[in-house]
Structure 1
C-alpha cells in the first residue's frame, strides 16, 4: 500500500506541481525556473522510484522469510528519498532556465 501511495503521489505531483511543499512560497521567477528545469518531473521520478523500491523490498523481505525487514526498508527509503528531494530539488529552483 505504501509503495502504491508513493507512485500515486508522484503522478499527482507531475500533474499538479502546487502539491510540492513550499512551491506556493516561491517567487514567480523561481516557479518558472523550477518548471522549465524539470522539478515536477524530478519529483515524479523520485516518488515513483521510492514506491517501486518499497514494493520490491516487501517481496524481497518475504522471499527471505524476514517480514520484519520490510518495515526497515520503508523507513530507510522514505528518509533517503526526502533527503534527495530536499538537496537536489533546491537546485531546480535556484539555477537559471536551461
Structure 2
C-alpha cells in the first residue's frame, strides 16, 4: 500500500504519541507488540521502512530506556577492543572523582 507524505507524517506522529504514553507505563510489552503488528498490517509497512524502525523503538521501549544499565552489565568478553578501551577509559574517569 502506497502512503503519501501526509499519511506517513500522521503515522510517525501517532507512534510518537503512543511512545510518550508508553513511557508512563500505560502499555505492557505485549500490548505494544500487538499495537505494532496491527499498524504494520493495516498500513502495509515493509522491512526497511523508517516507520518500521520507529515501531521497533516503540516496542523495545523498556530496553531503550534502560540501555545504559544493560551496557554496563555486558561482560567484557563480549565487547570489541574499541568498546573495551572506552569502558576502561570511563572507569578511570569515574575513579578520579571518587
Give the alignment's TM-score, normalised by structure 2. Answer: 0.33
Give the TM-score, by structure 1 length: 0.33
Return the structure number with greater relative CO, CA threshold 8 A, min gap 6: 1
**Which structure carries more helix by proportion?**
1
